[in-house]
Structure 1
Amino acid sequence: MTAVVVPSPRTVGRTAESRVLTTAVEDGSRQRGGTVFVLGEAGIGKSRLVTEAAEHALSRGMRVLRGRASASGAPAPFRPISEALFSLTRESGLPTDPELVPYRPSLARFLPEWRDATAFGDDESLLVVAEGLLRLLAVLGRDVGCLIVLEDLHDADAETLAIVDYLADNLVGQPVVLLTTARSQAGPAWELVRGGGRRSGVTVVEPGRLDPEGVRELVASCLGVPSDDVPGAAVDRLFRDSDGVPFVVEELLDSMVAVGGLVRDPDGWSVRGEGHTPVPVTVVLSVSHRVDRLAPEVAALLHVAAVLGRRFPLSVVRAVCGLEQADLLRHLRSAVEAQLVTPDRPAPEWYSFRHALTADALLARLGASERAELARRAADAVEVDHPGLPGEWCTSAAILRLESGDVATAAGLFAEAGRRMLADGAAATAVDLLRRAHDLLAHDDEERVAVLELLLNALAEAGQVEQALALAPDLDDPGLSVERQASLHTVLARVAVRAGLWAQGAEEIASTRALLGPDVAPRLTAEVDVIAATLTLETPGADRRTVAERLVRRALRDAEQADLPEVACEALELLGTLTRQQDLTESDGYFTRMAELAHRHRLRSVQLRALARSGVNENLRSGRAARLRRAHLQAFQVGAITEGYLLEVNLVMVAVLRGEFVRAAELADHCVPVVTRMRLRYSIRYVLMAKAAMFAHRGRRSGMTRALAEFDRWDGRDSHQMPLVHGLCEAFCALLEENRPQAVRALDDAIASEAENPTNYVLAGRYGLRVLLGVLGGEMGWREYEEAAAVPAGALAWNRQFLHLAKAVLLGRAGQSAAAAAAMVEHLQISEPFAMARHLGLRLAAEAAISDTWGSPANWLREAETYFHQDDVPAITSACRVLLRRAGVSATQHRNGTANLPAPIRSMGVTVREHEVLRLLAERLGNTEIGKRLFISPRTVEKHVASLLAKTSQPDRAALNRFAIDHVIGGMD
């Protein structure tokens, strides 16, 4: 009997689909990545297409990674991705690129070699994990391109689907191609694929069933003959019974030849026994025919394997079948030769069925009792082979116990697996497992409630808030203890707070308090008070801060008494934030206590947050950012990616206020794409507002307008950041355009916006710049100044610099010139970190000083004019020059080379030519000799010398010579 080659050695009827995949692979090798979803029914040929694409990628020298989701019961988080990355450790080792270092704790989910006990990633949201994977793939494909193939997404866990969704959104322009397969059946994967098809850079390929000619070609390929040599009767029968599904065609063809329905004689292939040889009409019968041709021991092995799922471990199969290793391998060889199973390449100790339908067909051959017995024996083997059931084995054992009929044990294992998944950050998978445990434990109150509490937390972590709140009726079971009910309502309150459902959160807290009553142990109320404090701050009311502070202080006391360090740290953090506006020193104290408590209890992420919050205080107090930058660096070093980007967003604004616009642009360019991909909406809005401020503080209105338009697209106009938009963006842009009335209106808008929607932002102008402009315009005086200076916000460095200017103007207007000059000295000291604001202040104060004849307005204007000229801010540069002429001083002529003058010399208004004269004065040359050197007349040299005496405030030429030696020659050294 002639053997049939199954599967076919070549792909049939898929020319167009193959072309799409080939093009995608070639684009990826040229740094033009994207995503291709291959969608179709079981057996349609999806795996064949992606296998050919992978072979093409290898032929081009690309990195190829492959993984497959599991069809055995509840999916394990990230299994196909972990499987795909498994080859990295076997081939060339893990990449060492510095840009991956911050993401190692997140990537350790897939690559255990990157687990580091000194790092932590408790903020490892799925978006952080996805971003880390994106960067890893980009590194792998940097030179040659990278193809990652993930098969059977219909069996994938929710976490894997979320990462696939993220990659599909962000692979355009990367040297990475994502190629996936999924069945065209309703479910999360189908929804993902359908939604992905509408996105840029995503292609959906849907191979259809073969027509009769396609079936003829496929049969010819399997038989190794020209298509004309395939009997028409065979094509008709195979097409009829397979409906054109390639896998079924191959299975039926193999069975047809095996039973003599299709034979080869000297004249070629022919159909025999149409009337008495039945043609199988289902894959079950086809697979049965193939299995029945094998030895009984091989068939038994395959049935055990099918109970374990499409993929199965050899150790468990061997234990259940009671085989010696040599016998096991011999039987497996027979199954491989029969094209039923194949070695699982990424995991050498595992095998898999060639097609999922094969496993289904084998299971259909088993009776219910036989299947349950095999499941029981498999579960026993798993527990013996893997003590403690680590990793996926806990879920696998739970499924096997459930199939064996041991419901109680299965429920406990599902609960334990869910708890582990929740702790590991796989919240969506945890929800699936805990729901199964909860349903199975419906009549076991104590265990069920424990699972319910875990389930509520998992739903919250997974963002399934509505589903969590829908469980509220289950919390009031009269069979539960009061403490247990209260604990569950507290968990639900946290869920509501996370989702911003303040009213729902308040209802849950009220239910908790009603259950606990007035006389209750502090350990039960501490967490309740912290949540209540947070809710109070989000509830309109004049005394909300007072009430919130009272609640959180009580929570801190009770948490410390009950030894609840996490709750105590949460209370200290909230207290530090609440007291920041009243007393920075007190606020620092809370953050210090928070850091010490976190250190004592090894709460490393809390330690980092404490450092970051105290860094914010340092910056507000002095304008310095060393601590904030240290926290930012540390966050990435230990893998706290989300916290790191939150700090980086803050550092963009810090750089803007310090006038470090190049650094601000670099930070913004680095973090905007990431926080946008990660959908960190608050951070996206804040950094876009900071970018708008960056443009505004340079007088670039068009850039500010573009950034604010993007800010609006992220619902910025309804956010708490609007006071900063008015006060830090619009007001400053107007001032640099010399439009003071517009700046005043913007600052008034900031104050009105803050009154309507109170925030913790105190740098929007109310306690600084608005007072200065009011004093300059004559509408404000000592009363407004003293009111602003008396509140803690007026003591912050950014605000204080403007209040010092307002004080100087008021003193100068009152004729107290010396006191006004002293106030200017204070301004210059406090404004030193804020380059742009400092020079803007000099321009504003100089105008008043000229009118009231006090201070050194000419020197201030020269410094301001030079600064704004160099940054190309024409309106304010021109205003400085006009004011210089009003002060009776000639404006600086900016020639080529001005920017190269030493900063102290440039700030005095010294021109390029005057600097050339000054250099020659350092050589103690006379006017005639200087004139000869510079090709100018001695009279012109004398004019330059006179100007230099005035600008450098030197009494005579000898002193000017010494000044030249010290500041020009010495400066060069």
Structure 2
Amino acid sequence: MLTSSPYVVGRAEELRVLLDGLIDARRGQGRAVFVGGEAGIGKTRLAADCAYRAVADGMAVLRGRGSSAGAPVPFRPVAEALLSLFRVSGPPQDPALAPYRSALAALVPDWRGEQRPAAPPSLTDIAEALLRLLGAVGREGPDRPPRGCLLIVEDLHEADAETLAVLDYVIDNLDGLPVLLVATLRQHPGPALDLALDAAARRQARRLDLHPLDQSQTAELAAACLSAAPGALPAAVVERVARDAGGNPFVVEELLSGMVTAGALRRDPERGWEVFGDLGIEVPTTVVRSVVQRAARIDPAGREMLNVAAVLGRRFALPVLQLVTGLDDRSLLIHLRAGIDARLLSPSGPVADRYEFRHALVADALLADLLPAERAAIARRAAGEVERAYPGLPGEWRQLVAVLRQAAGEPEAAARLFAEAAEEARQDGATESAVALLERALELVGGSVAGPAAASGIRERLVHALADSGRFDQARDLARTLPLGGPAALGDDRTAALHLRLARAAVSAGRLADAAEQAALVRTLLGPAAGPERTCALEVVEAHLALTDPAQAVTAPAGGRPDGEQRTAAAERLARRAAERAEAAGLPEVACQAWQLLALLERRHGFDRADGCLRRLLDLAVRHRLPGWQVDAQLRLGVNEFMRIGESVQLERAHRAALDLGALDLVRSAEATLAMHAVLRGDYARARALTDQGLEASARLRNVDHHQFLLLTRAMVAAHQGRRAEMTDVLAEFDRWDGADSLQLPLAHGNCRAVCALLEEDRALALAEFDRARRWEARHPSVFYLNGAHGLHPLLRALAGTGSAAEHARTAADHASALAWNRQFERLAYAVHLGRAGQPGPAAEAVEEAARAARPFAMARHLGLRLVAEAALADGWGEPVGWLRSAEEYFHRAGVPAVGAACRRLLREAGASVPQRRTGTEQVPEPLRGRRVTVREYEVVLLVAQRLGNQEIAARLSISPRTVEKHVASLLEKAGQPNRTALADWAARATSA
């Protein structure tokens, strides 16, 4: 009979925590819970009860388990969990998941399209994709309340390193998502326990440690297992179970099963359970004896099948089991049913042909009953059958056969297979699993007859894997242990390739001294006679060093240490030579690396030359079928087009291509640039949507440079609408993300604070901000050409009379002044100089040229008209009245009162009619109109929100301070605020809504 309780006993508090987690998930308040304890303590049963409650409540349930094959299979638990829900329907078709489909395909290869991504997604990409998928599954639809999602990962202690890293990321970012994550694990030392402890210490997860049942709980469980009323079991049974089981529910069930099987405990229809004979069973052999006894009742062929299954692991595939046992379909199913009836086996997971032992202790018990020679023989036979059935050993079969070869006493064969599995994992981006597999292979060959040569080959692969995983110090130290001579030596070429990989890793990590050391070693190994095909990849590294590290002698001229310009020129020479040599040698990826760097360096000479490098890169990528490089070139061409003419056609096309390819880094770069473009075009709603989307992800990914750029873009959204308080808050967040050390800092001064100051009619403050940007760039050469130095700043200097025509000619000669955003202001500055010199015709023509450049930029176009009109009125040229009317209309509709008021003041000074705006109530937001706030009062509200004083507001709106005071008093009454400070807070909220 079955001796299993129909309900959970003794875990009321733990179950309450899980059920509260389900409720919170349906409210959109995600959390994680770790359920820990020894084998058999009830972790799986508790998780199963949680899953049952979730299904009953209509929640989505995903369930996976750590691998038990003895070798890590990257992402196995997560992939199994996804398949448990999406095996038939596939992943959700939510459009928001489109950028993450290739990352999801890394978890479930069956979801891959025909075109595989050019490079495997990073762990953070995969983690972010999983997080977004779980959120989409738990929400169901934008207009419906979340249904909630439960993700269960069992046996986390057997999970691979990639799964642990992904779950760590997910756990840290569950807040605000309709997801409950439940993970079960044994509490022995290891990475899984470290994850649980760290997450709990960070207050990102809850730990539930299952302790043994006490005596009363054990008695209740025993009665439930035997379908007896509480207290109805014989006292001797309860006493013996309490003593021998140690409060372990699984052992309780096995003890009772053994008593019933042995006939020592029988059920009388009238008197209930009675004892017949000795109840004493030796511990700790209890479980082994119980399992062996049940297996012994199955016929010999069935028992052999169970033994083979135990050698294959806790979970096994029926096709493999059939191959090894030689059973026909009918016999296999008969024996399988017998194992299930004996409570030894059960179906496993979403795949129909996968089964598992009911508990890990069952498989352990069967293995313990086998002689070592029997286990080795079964493992050898199983390995051979799998190799014949699955040529090439695709997927997880290689790891399985490696484990079997090791169990069969064949360490060299096992090591070779582990090394091959590691290479496959590395190519798929699972670098941590690759490291673990190679370390296992290295242990196997360490004392084998294969000798040092095999160990050197594995160490070589391990250096590459460690470098890929970002563990540079370990990779470098391991490389130093490789023999330099003898039969185990790699040879100069392989050693040079190894240290070149370390040099590239050091450059990527910004470890310039280490990169220089490795590059010098490679140069020595290659020798002076090395051909260009062997040195071009090294020259790309040396070019990066020349650009970033002033200490590199390779870039120094005869006169001593090079300055920044000399280093840049040296880097350009090296990169160009590397590109040409790589192309001649048939090394397209090295050539792509070189042309990419050249495209950045050539910006110094103009964007035409930079585009030429990118078109060369694109041609190489197309001819050699390198889709990642192809999209990279398209994106960079799109960025250049945007900067040159203010259009985004190519950028939009590159964004779609990156989405199709699943190149998430390129997708993010394209979206960030599109957000910046939207700001400059005045499409603030789109810019806000794109930055909202990107900021959330970049903060989770800790992508500092990308997050800084998005914060600056968001600050520009506020600055270009004259919202100083909002801009200041965002720039404060930029500073918290180390903005003071960012190469993008000039944008904060020039395109945020300075522009905002101009929209407040504070030209002195704008000039001061531009000066700050100029001083910073004098110390830190920058490639950010949109910070005002080549356009808006020269215009302000021309208007102030502090910039000469000769100075302007030097500015105009710089290629950066030809970029569309800069050219609109540069032409206006030129017009001011011409008008002041008494050349009205050429001055007006310059304004027309500025208008053509400014066509994409609505706000900037009208700001330029307001600025140049003042000079045109003073010097008597152009059409300043028309320009002012156009600017006044735009800024009135845009809700920028200071500039609108300045335009009206200048119109009055010109003797022109001035539009009356006090009846334009459509500009006042509905909540303020409901409080009877007038148009003029709304203009005051906008400035009060920036915490300006009455004198400043009066100057901005060209009214008297006394009039401002009356408006403020009226607003205090209408807003129901007690004082000026409270009114400023209210105004900030009202104008930012």
**Alignment TM class, shorter chain as reference:** 0.7 to 0.9
Deviations 1:762-799 (A, max 9, x none): 22222222222222222221232122111222222222
| Aligned partner (choices 97, 122, 133) of residue 100 of structure 1 | 97
- Gap change, CA 1:119 and 1:433, over 3 Å in 2: closer
Find the counterpart in structure 2 of residue 125 from structure 1. 122
> What does 1:540-689 align with in structure 2 at a 5 Å threshold?
540=550, 541-542=563-564, 543-689=566-712
Deviations 1:489-512 (A, max 9, x none): 001111112222121111100111
Find the counterpart in structure 1 of residue 490 from structure 2. 480
Do the aligned partners of 1:537 and 1:545 also contact (CA within 8 Å) in 2? yes
Do the aligned partners of 2:240 and 2:279 also contact (CA within 8 Å) in 1? no
Work out whether 1:798 is the aligned partner of 2:843.
no
**Other structure's SS at 2:139 match:** coil
For 1:846 and 1:148, the matched residues in 2 are separated by: 64
For 1:30 and 1:885, the matched residues in 2 are separated by: 59
Find the counterpart in structure 2 of residue 774 from structure 1. 797
TM-score by length of 2: 0.86
For 1:275 and 1:632, the matched residues in 2 are separated by: 73
Letter of the aligned partner of 2:65 in structure 1? R
For 1:886 and 1:416, the matched residues in 2 are separated by: 82
Letter of the aligned partner of 2:291 in structure 1? V
For 2:282 and 2:451, the matched residues in 1 are separated by: 53
For 2:545 and 2:921, the matched residues in 1 are separated by: 57
**Other structure's SS at 2:33 match:** strand
Work out whether 1:456 is the aligned partner of 2:451.
no
Find the counterpart in structure 1 of residue 226 from structure 2. 223
- Following superposition, the deviation at residue 651 of structure 1 comes to 1.3
Find the counterpart in structure 1 of residue 940 from structure 2. none
Consecutive unaligned residues in structure 1, runs of 5 or more? 901-911, 913-973
Deviations 1:911-962 (A, max 9, x none): x9xxxxxxxxxxxxxxxxxxxxxxxxxxxxxxxxxxxxxxxxxxxxxxxxxx
RMSD: 2.4
- Following superposition, the deviation at residue 120 of structure 1 comes to 2.4
Do the aligned partners of 2:149 and 2:179 also contact (CA within 8 Å) in 1? yes
For 1:767 and 1:363, the matched residues in 2 are separated by: 77
Find the counterpart in structure 2 of residue 52 from structure 1. 49
- Gap change, CA 1:350 and 1:235, over 3 Å in 2: same
Letter of the aligned partner of 1:65 in structure 2? L
- Following superposition, the deviation at residue 516 of structure 1 comes to 1.4
TM-score by length of 1: 0.88
> What does 1:5-44 align with in structure 2 at a 5 Å threshold?
5-44=2-41
| Aligned partner (choices 316, 340, 346) of residue 344 of structure 2 | 340
**Other structure's SS at 2:309 match:** helix
**Other structure's SS at 1:579 match:** helix
> What does 1:776-855 align with in structure 2 at a 5 Å threshold?
776-855=799-878
Work out whether 1:714 is the aligned partner of 2:737.
yes
- Following superposition, the deviation at residue 7 of structure 1 comes to 2.7
- Following superposition, the deviation at residue 515 of structure 1 comes to 1.5
Letter of the aligned partner of 2:622 in structure 1? H
* Identical counterparts, % of pairs: 49
Do the aligned partners of 2:80 and 2:349 also contact (CA within 8 Å) in 1? no
Find the counterpart in structure 2 of residue 138 from structure 1. 135
The worse-fitting range, judged by mean Cα deviation, of 851-860 and 44-53 is 851-860
Find the counterpart in structure 2 of residue 956 from structure 1. none
- Gap change, CA 1:317 and 1:275, over 3 Å in 2: closer
- Gap change, CA 1:337 and 1:823, over 3 Å in 2: same
Find the counterpart in structure 1 of residue 413 from structure 2. 409
Do the aligned partners of 1:457 and 1:495 also contact (CA within 8 Å) in 2? no
- Gap change, CA 1:303 and 1:175, over 3 Å in 2: same
| Aligned partner (choices 356, 359, 364) of residue 363 of structure 2 | 359
**Other structure's SS at 2:682 match:** coil
Do the aligned partners of 2:30 and 2:175 also contact (CA within 8 Å) in 1? yes
**Other structure's SS at 1:177 match:** strand
Find the counterpart in structure 2 of residue 287 from structure 1. 291
Do the aligned partners of 1:261 and 1:277 also contact (CA within 8 Å) in 2? no
Do the aligned partners of 1:768 and 1:800 also contact (CA within 8 Å) in 2? yes
Q: Size of the alignment, in residue pairs?
A: 898
For 1:683 and 1:871, the matched residues in 2 are separated by: 29
- Following superposition, the deviation at residue 705 of structure 1 comes to 1.5
For 2:548 and 2:415, the matched residues in 1 are separated by: 40
- Gap change, CA 1:756 and 1:351, over 3 Å in 2: same
| Aligned partner (choices 312, 316, 329) of residue 316 of structure 2 | 312
For 1:691 and 1:354, the matched residues in 2 are separated by: 55
Work out whether 1:181 is the aligned partner of 2:191.
no
For 2:580 and 2:367, the matched residues in 1 are separated by: 61
Find the counterpart in structure 2 of residue 882 from structure 1. 905
- Following superposition, the deviation at residue 581 of structure 1 comes to 2.6
Work out whether 1:245 is the aligned partner of 2:254.
no
Find the counterpart in structure 2 of residue 467 from structure 1. 474
Find the counterpart in structure 2 of residue 493 from structure 1. 503
**Other structure's SS at 1:229 match:** coil
**Other structure's SS at 1:335 match:** helix
- Gap change, CA 1:767 and 1:475, over 3 Å in 2: farther
Letter of the aligned partner of 1:366 in structure 2? L
Consecutive unaligned residues in structure 2, runs of 5 or more? 141-146, 551-562, 924-934, 936-993
Deviations 1:318-351 (A, max 9, x none): 3333333322222222221121111224122121
Letter of the aligned partner of 2:326 in structure 1? G
For 2:417 and 2:120, the matched residues in 1 are separated by: 27
- Following superposition, the deviation at residue 270 of structure 1 comes to 4.9
- Following superposition, the deviation at residue 627 of structure 1 comes to 0.7
- Following superposition, the deviation at residue 313 of structure 1 comes to 1.7
Deviations 1:280-336 (A, max 9, x none): 555334433443444443333222212111101223223333333322222222221
Find the counterpart in structure 2 of residue 298 from structure 1. 302
**Other structure's SS at 1:529 match:** helix
Find the counterpart in structure 1 of residue 557 from structure 2. none
| Aligned partner (choices 108, 111, 116) of residue 113 of structure 2 | 116
- Gap change, CA 1:121 and 1:101, over 3 Å in 2: farther
**Other structure's SS at 1:179 match:** strand
Find the counterpart in structure 2 of residue 923 from structure 1. none
For 1:214 and 1:23, the matched residues in 2 are separated by: 23
For 1:771 and 1:48, the matched residues in 2 are separated by: 73
- Following superposition, the deviation at residue 92 of structure 1 comes to 4.3
Find the counterpart in structure 1 of residue 787 from structure 2. 764
For 1:153 and 1:447, the matched residues in 2 are separated by: 33
- Gap change, CA 1:784 and 1:41, over 3 Å in 2: farther
**Other structure's SS at 2:603 match:** coil
- Following superposition, the deviation at residue 897 of structure 1 comes to 5.6
| Aligned partner (choices 503, 507, 530) of residue 520 of structure 1 | 530
Work out whether 1:82 is the aligned partner of 2:79.
yes
Letter of the aligned partner of 1:139 in structure 2? A
Do the aligned partners of 2:90 and 2:111 also contact (CA within 8 Å) in 1? no
**Other structure's SS at 1:204 match:** strand
For 1:430 and 1:300, the matched residues in 2 are separated by: 34
For 2:785 and 2:842, the matched residues in 1 are separated by: 28
Do the aligned partners of 1:445 and 1:480 also contact (CA within 8 Å) in 2? no
Deviations 1:418-455 (A, max 9, x none): 11111122222122112223444456565545544443
Do the aligned partners of 2:460 and 2:479 also contact (CA within 8 Å) in 1? no
Work out whether 1:502 is the aligned partner of 2:512.
yes
Deviations 1:798-840 (A, max 9, x none): 2222221221111222222222222212211112222222222
Do the aligned partners of 1:242 and 1:281 also contact (CA within 8 Å) in 2? no
Deviations 1:186-233 (A, max 9, x none): 222222222333567743333322111110111011111122123333
- Gap change, CA 1:77 and 1:253, over 3 Å in 2: same
